[in-house]
Amino acid sequence: MADFRRFIASSEYFSGYEVFIDITIHNSLDNIINYFYEHLMKTLTDNKFEVFIDYLKERKLHIHDFTFEDIKAMNPDNVNYICDHC
């Protein structure tokens, strides 16, 4: 059964970009971050946002303070932020 969590970019340029991710098909934070990255990259590519594509390629996306297990145990209504600065 699907178990979706809400992930939003915390970013100078992508702030507010939101993806609902089914955590049952992922097994680590890295998998979630990669899925979010690919989703954002596809959106930018589909819309030919070349400057933002280059910017995203230079960024290191990460999640602060939580493990994959923490996210699995959270209330599904919680918002999880994926950061590209620091």
- What does pTM read for this prediction? 0.95
Q: Tell me the pLDDT tens digit for each residue of 11-21.
A: 999 999 999 99
Average pLDDT over residues 37-44: 98
**43: nearest Cα among 9, 75, 17:** 17
Per-residue pLDDT reduced to its tens digit, 64-85: 999 999 999 999 999 999 999 8
Domain residue spans in the chain? 1-25+78-86
Give tens-digit pLDDT for 23-36.
Answer: 999 999 999 999 99
The letter for the amino acid at 63 is I
Confidence of residue 86 (pLDDT cuts 50, 70, 90): confident
Bridge partner residues of 80 (DSSP):
7
